Amino acid sequence: MSTSVESFADLGLSDTLLQTLTQIGYETPSPIQAQCIPVLLEGHDLIGMAQTGTGKTAAFALPLMEQIDVKVSKPQALILTPTRELAIQVAEALQSYAKNLPGFHVLPIYGGQSYTIQLKQLSRGAHVIVGTPGRVMDHLERKTLNLDNLKTLVLDEADEMLRMGFIDDVEWILERTPEQHQTALFSATMPEQIRRVAQKYLVEPREIKIKSATATVAAIRQVYWQVSGMHKLDALTRILEVEDNFDAAIIFVRTKTATVELADKLNARGYAAAALNGDLNQQMRERVIEQLKSGALDIVIATDVAARGIDVPRVSHVVNYDIPYDTEAYVHRIGRTGRAGRTGNAILFVAPREIRMLRTIERATRQPIAPLTLPSRADVTNKRVADFKQKVVEVLAAEGLDFFANIVSQIAEEQNVGAEEVAAALAMMAQEGKPLQIAGEDPAPARPATRDDRRPGVFGERERKPGFESRGERPRFDDRNGDKPRYEDRPRREDRPARPAPSGDMVRYRIDVGREHGVEVRDIVGAIANEAGIESRFIGRIGLYEESSTVELPAGMPAEAANALKRTRIRGVPINIRQDEGRPGGSFGGERKFDGERGGFKKKKFGDR
């Protein structure tokens, strides 16, 4: 690791937050946290050059939370993020750090979400607002958001905000914040325009940069899997199962909690796995390493600190289940394999948002990391069959089969079947808890990683251009008759009562998410209600299947709603909505009907600003 700071306690955080960090399983500060937290606690403005995956959220969130007076129900911190998905993520992070701060309230506000609900939440009072620039600007204009009590302003992923055309909005907001406040700007890169904004609005900022010193790595096969369409745990077991030369693995995760959880899950799937984290005393730690050496354990799930210096030659694989904070940590992690002249394999799991970190690692190690195609069901089956055959061959070569051959002959004779059929029955029995053929479907292959893949998630699309749908002009489906379905901004309802049969014409659509993606009916209702602005009670029957689902929506969907749905993801998976074949009536989204209109509408709205 690139810092000598070993403990959060060295950074000046309060006991309350330190206790929270222990509870949520953070073991040591990441390099960006070690450097930023003390500077921010001292009250300086800051420019942090860091990207997703470095732990930058906690780097600004923890000091900011130390400033909050929970008794004052006014926004004291504002965090601007480029996307709604990031706003939600950051708000969730703050909420988790507020575990021991009763009354603390953080509110994400972003485009596409109902104004009614946002206004209600704002009027209830929030201490921290995490928002996308367009929506924050709208609320400032409407005076529904007041920043008079602002102590901290954070610009998160400033270069992304620039890239997405929000920089003018950001400046507009910066000009309307009170004089006295601390500003922190985080950006993965520092283009000229961001530099200019920093010079104009930050006061003597300290600049902190995560080093990505080049480093040579041993001759290790390095591959990455872009997390998509399948849970990491399922992908991990599939990969480990078909990897050639698998002997033992060290799997790296970020938190102590995750080491224990993953070890439990892998044990439940039949792996000999154990956790290795900073909670273990030296003796326990050595015991785990001994067990890995001797073969009593095949997998150790570790945090960076706990795995430091492990030298176990049989470790054939290192899996970066959670991406490391920096290139130094990556190089250190993968150095746990390929030891004593053996070949090593390093597998990296990369969430779409973390693609930039992948590229940084490639640059720093001066080695390309090849994409890994997830083994298909057929691959796993073939591997299991090959292993099974191998076992049979070994037994065939052994002595003492006569007794068993006799039993087979007896069964064949008694049942009047061939020995082959008896052997098939025995093979079936021999599967035990691990069937040779695995059930379920293969997920659709992920697209190759691109820069644009850095903002996925449940609602993983960009915020619409400010003003586009921000003043309640989202096109409505026929609302002349109060009982007819309408497309409009409505609050998301998580737990819906039984859905009444909708009135009016319904069209059935198919979406490419189902049970295997961990999707539930409420996810589908929530996403569609939010994205298409359709009141959830007008969403018709939902059929949840293994790999896809169907959903009935009112006919005559406006183009804007249709376009929003086309970009929608549920649990990170693009839903690829289309009309379900074989059903008459309605074309998806009435695109053709609305397209021309939408162009004009959009233009006019932008001009309004």
**What residue ranges bind ligand AMP (CB under 6 A)?**
26-27, 29-30, 33, 52-58, 254-255
For the bound state, the minimum distance from the C-beta of residue 451 to ligand AMP, rounded and expressed in Å, comes to 17
Rounded Cα distance, 338 and 24, in Å: 33
Nearer to ligand AMP, 54 or 536 (CB): 54
Nearer to ligand AMP, 27 or 516 (CB): 27
For the bound state, the minimum distance from the C-beta of residue 88 to ligand AMP, rounded and expressed in Å, comes to 12
For the bound state, the minimum distance from the C-beta of residue 359 to ligand AMP, rounded and expressed in Å, comes to 15
Nearer to ligand AMP, 255 or 576 (CB): 255
For the bound state, the minimum distance from the C-beta of residue 435 to ligand AMP, rounded and expressed in Å, comes to 34
Contact 45, 63 (CB under 8 A): no
For the bound state, the minimum distance from the C-beta of residue 374 to ligand AMP, rounded and expressed in Å, comes to 22
For the bound state, the minimum distance from the C-beta of residue 43 to ligand AMP, rounded and expressed in Å, comes to 22
For the bound state, the minimum distance from the C-beta of residue 208 to ligand AMP, rounded and expressed in Å, comes to 14
Sign of the Cα pseudo-torsion (475, 478, 480, 485, in order): negative
Nearer to ligand AMP, 56 or 569 (CB): 56
Neighbours of 118 (CB within 10 A): 22
Nearer to ligand AMP, 361 or 559 (CB): 361
Nearer to ligand AMP, 35 or 550 (CB): 35
Rounded Cα distance, 468 and 163, in Å: 18
For the bound state, the minimum distance from the C-beta of residue 57 to ligand AMP, rounded and expressed in Å, comes to 3
Rounded Cα distance, 411 and 417, in Å: 8
Nearer to ligand AMP, 61 or 150 (CB): 61
Rounded Cα distance, 293 and 301, in Å: 14
Nearer to ligand AMP, 350 or 507 (CB): 350
Rounded Cα distance, 55 and 3, in Å: 14
Rounded Cα distance, 329 and 310, in Å: 14
Nearer to ligand AMP, 30 or 222 (CB): 30
Nearer to ligand AMP, 34 or 525 (CB): 34
Residue 388 contacts by C-beta under 8 Å, 6 or more apart in sequence?
427, 430, 436
Burial of 491: CB neighbours in 10 Å, binned 0-12, 13-18, 19+: middle
For the bound state, the minimum distance from the C-beta of residue 303 to ligand AMP, rounded and expressed in Å, comes to 8
Burial 159-168 (b: 16+ CB within 10 A, else e): bbbbbbebbe
Element (H, E) at 274: strand 273-276
Burial of 527: CB neighbours in 10 Å, binned 0-12, 13-18, 19+: buried
Rounded Cα distance, 403 and 395, in Å: 13
For the bound state, the minimum distance from the C-beta of residue 360 to ligand AMP, rounded and expressed in Å, comes to 13
Which amino acid is residue 379, in one-letter code?
A: D
For the bound state, the minimum distance from the C-beta of residue 96 to ligand AMP, rounded and expressed in Å, comes to 8
Q: How far is CA 587 from CA 294, 298, 536, in A?
A: 63, 54, 21
Nearer to ligand AMP, 50 or 577 (CB): 50
Contact 441, 516 (CB under 8 A): yes
Nearer to ligand AMP, 364 or 534 (CB): 364
Query: Strand order in 46-49's β-sheet?
Result: 106-109, 128-131, 77-80, 152-155, 182-187, 46-49, 206-209
Nearer to ligand AMP, 50 or 292 (CB): 50
Neighbours of 10 (CB within 10 A): 14
Nearer to ligand AMP, 52 or 320 (CB): 52
Number of residues that make up the chain: 609
For the bound state, the minimum distance from the C-beta of residue 134 to ligand AMP, rounded and expressed in Å, comes to 22
Point out which residues pair with 534 in neighbouring strands: 487
Residue 602's nearest CA partner among 467, 463, 461 is 467
For the bound state, the minimum distance from the C-beta of residue 255 to ligand AMP, rounded and expressed in Å, comes to 5
Nearer to ligand AMP, 26 or 115 (CB): 26
Q: Are strands 299-302 and 152-155 parallel, antiparallel or unpaired?
A: unpaired
Q: Are strands 128-131 and 315-320 parallel, antiparallel or unpaired?
A: unpaired
Neighbours of 139 (CB within 10 A): 21
Residue 9 contacts by C-beta under 8 Å, 6 or more apart in sequence?
18
For the bound state, the minimum distance from the C-beta of residue 248 to ligand AMP, rounded and expressed in Å, comes to 24
What is 489-521 written as a DSSP string? -----SS--PPPPPPS-EEEEEES--GGGT--H
Question: Structure tokens of 28?
Answer: 């040591």
Residue 589's nearest CA partner among 511, 495, 507, 490 is 507
For the bound state, the minimum distance from the C-beta of residue 523 to ligand AMP, rounded and expressed in Å, comes to 21
